[in-house]
Amino acid sequence: MKSPSISVLAGVSSKGLLGPYFFPGTVTGQSFLKVLREEMIPSLKALYEDTEVIFQMDGAPGHWAKEVRAFMDLSFPEKWIGRGGPIPWAPRSPDLTPPDFFLWGFIKHKVYAKSPLTLEDLRGLISDAFREIPVAMCQRVCQSVGVRLQRCIEANGAQIQ
């Protein structure tokens, strides 16, 4: 029997975090598109106003749905990175994706130090942990992406630390 779970979507930008956005259970193309359209993209556009933005996604199945890619093509023409996008992203590249190399480890460390007992506790602890991350920390993480890309090139695409 599968335990109850929630899925969380978030973004890291040089101006702060986007999210957390919560999903009951598994993220589908339709549920991901709804959060993108109604919450994440409006927040991102308000944060950056007229600044040019490049949006990066990993290759999760919900991110690769046809309707999601069509929406991204309209929202960020030629300016999004992801599976099937105009700027391809290397599959299985957690060393290069800020949520993977920074955010989720930080959040899990904070959340599981307090042992949530219910899904509602878990959701609250995740939200609290997000509020603990200052913009300056997000800026440092974003600045490290270029260094990580260079290290990956030097390692011929192999995993880096």
Domain regions of the chain by residue span? 6-154
**Can you give the three-state secondary structure of 66-112, one letter per residue?**
HHHHHHHHHHCCCCEECCCCCECCCCCCHHHCHHHHHHHHHHHHHHH
In words, the CATH class of domain 6-154 is alpha beta
Residue 109 reports pLDDT greater than 90:
yes
Which tens digits make up the pLDDT trace of 2-25?
Answer: 666 889 999 999 999 999 999 877
User: What distance in Å separates the CA atoms of residue 147 and residue 90, rounded to the nearest whole number?
Assistant: 16
Least confident of 56-70, 90-104, 106-120: 90-104
Binning pLDDT at 50, 70 and 90, where does residue 44 land?
Answer: very high
* pLDDT given at position 1: 53
User: What distance in Å separates the CA atoms of residue 114 and residue 158, rounded to the nearest whole number?
Assistant: 35
* pLDDT given at position 43: 92
Which tens digits make up the pLDDT trace of 45-78?
Answer: 898 887 888 898 887 888 889 999 999 999 999 9
* pLDDT given at position 24: 78
- As a whole number, mean pLDDT of residues 76-92 equals 86
- As a whole number, mean pLDDT of residues 106-132 equals 93
